[in-house]
Structures are given as structure tokens and as C-alpha cells.
Amino acid sequence: MTALQRGFWFALLAALAFGVTTPLIAALGGEAGPWSTAGWLYLGSALFAALAERKPRALVRGVRKYVPLLAAIALIGGMLAPAAYVIGLRDAGPFFASLALNMEAPFSVAIAAVAFHEYVNGRVVAAMLAIVAGASLLTFGQDTGTGLHAGVLLVVAATALWAFDNALSSRLGELDPRVTVFWKSAGGAALSLLTGMLLHEPAGTPATVAALLLIGAGGYGASLVLYLRAQRTFGVARTASVFATAPFIGAVGSFAFGKTALTLPGIAAFVAMAGGVYLHATERHAHRHHHHAQEHTHPHRHDDPHHDHAHEAAVLGEHTHHHAHGELEHTHEHAPDPEHSHTH
């Protein structure tokens, strides 16, 4: 399996894990206030990251120089975004909240292209438009009663915050994804739970808290780790576009919970979104490009054309250490990952 294929599957698995959270939170999280709900979800995420990292010391290794960035990520993506999302979800319902989550893709692609000058070709744009169009088709024939819900606008605001958070997280290339997820989630959980306490909102029954912790561990912790791994081999924009299947998964979940009926627009949306994912899965980008000599530290593997340095003992899988790259010019399939930030 190539690095691009791994990135695609990481992004798709992240979407599956996150997509099911919307109907589950709606069904199981009603006994807790919105800030407390967000706090329990991200506490579950932090616990997952801590348990996934078998060496506790690794959670603090190399973190000091990223403290300001991690604090910003915890505030934006771990506190403000999930609170806006939960409040919007409870107003709009899981079906419409799931659809609104599609807005994360265009926000993420715009940030990647404008702020980080990430290359986005016509195929990526077409895939993104197909996925967003598919989500739009799902709204046809659905009676919202009052038109555009204020809750939908809150979920859209949450997607903008999460897109910004994901872009900031992509700058943490030297940190293991589990470390990034742990500090973001732990910080966001602490801020959210403290806010809930100050507002005297209900913390939830023991059963509710347990359910939210489990949802957070899988839908936020595991999903975030997979998402960050995808960004490193698949690029910010491509990962965001594949992750845009998560809202459709949530919409299907709301149907499974009896919250909505399957309609012809819904079937058409599935076809459009499946087409968008197919465009990504089959995308090929290759040309002759030049690498300057450099030294840096980041997670990497030895099954790509860039990491051929030797180790005293054999190393399998992804690992992190300081290493050097010689000057290199070659042609191969690649994405806008940390090794390929060249212009086009």
C-alpha cells in the first residue's frame, strides 16, 4: 500500500468514526448540558490518546516549544467548536446537524489553498463540490418548519473553527498524533467542564457520562489520530474532502435511529458523495520535482523514496527521530505532505 493510499484510508476511517457520533450524542447525551457534553467527549478523547501511547513520557517529549499552538488548538478545536456543535445539534436535530458538518470541507480547502499555498487541482475541487452537492441534495424535500435553523448556523460556525483547528494541527508535524490529540483534548475538556460548572449546567447522569466518554474515545480520540495521520501523507485539503463523507454517515445514522425517512434526494446524495470519494481515491499527481537538503524531526516510514537512511537495528513501521535528507530530484506520485511543499 502506497503512502497516498494509506492517507486515503486513514481519512476515510476517521470519517466513519466521527460520522456516527452525531446520532449517538443526540440519542445518549441529552442529560448533560452542552458545555459538559463537550467536556466529557473530549475527556474520552484524551483518555484514548493516553492509553494508545504506551510510554507516558512520550506525551511530554518535545511539547514545550508548541505550548502556545497547543493552547490555541485546545481553545478553538477542543472547547469552542464542540460546544457550538452540541448546542446547534440540539436545536437542529441530528439529520440537519450532520448535513451542516459538510461545511468543514470548503473551509479546510480554502485555508489550505490560501494560507498554506497547498496545491489543489481541478480533480480535488470537483470531488469537494460533488460531496457538498450531495449533502445539499439531502435537504430537498425535508420540512425544516422554520427554514434555516439557528442551530444549523451554529454547527456551520463549529465547522469553521474545526477547519482552522485542523490547519493549525497540521503545523505540529514533529509531534506524534497521539500527543497532539492528548493535549488538545485534555485542554479542551478542562475548559469545557469548568465552563459548565461556572454556568451551573447539569453534568449528566453516570450512564450519560459513561456513554459520552466512550463516544469521545472512538469518535474524537481515534478519529483525530487517524485524521492527523492522514494529513501527513494525503495533505490538508485532500484529507478534509474525504472526511466530508462523515456528515453523510451521520445522516444515515439519524435514519437508522428513526429520525428521518429515506427519500429520492437522499439516494441521489449518496451517489454524488460516493462519486466525490471515488475521485479522491483514484487521484494521481506526479511530476518531476526537487528536494533541497535538510535536517528535521518528524514521524516517518522507510517505504517511501525519501527516507533511506540507515539504523543500527532494523526499524519497522512509523517512528520519529532527527534525520537528514540529501538533495534529490525525482518523479513519483505524491501529495502536499511535509516532504512536498513545492509550488506548481
- Does residue 61 lie in a domain region? yes
- Does residue 204 lie in a domain region? yes
In sequence order, which residues have a C-beta less than 8 Å from that of residue 207 and are 6 or more positions away? 31
User: What's the whole-model pTM score?
Assistant: 0.73
pLDDT given at position 141: 47
- Domain range for 270: 3-285
Does residue 34 register a pLDDT over 60? yes
- Does residue 130 lie in a domain region? yes
- Does residue 300 lie in a domain region? no
Instruction: Let me know if 220 is exposed, middle or buried by CB neighbors in 10 A (0-12, 13-18, 19+).
Output: buried
Say how many C-beta atoms besides its own lie within 10 A of residue 211's C-beta. Answer: 21
Residues 57-108: pLDDT tens digits?
778 887 888 999 999 999 999 999 999 999 988 887 888 788 778 788 788 8
Total domains in the fold of the chain: 1
Grid cell 446547534 is found at 88
pLDDT given at position 152: 78
Confidence of residue 111 (pLDDT cuts 50, 70, 90): confident
Spatial contact of 25 and 86, defined as CB atoms under 8 Å apart: yes
Residues 217-226: pLDDT tens digits?
999 989 988 9
pLDDT given at position 150: 75
The DSSP letter of residue 116 is S
CA distances in angstroms from 179 to 18, 175, 225, listed in the order given: 19, 6, 9
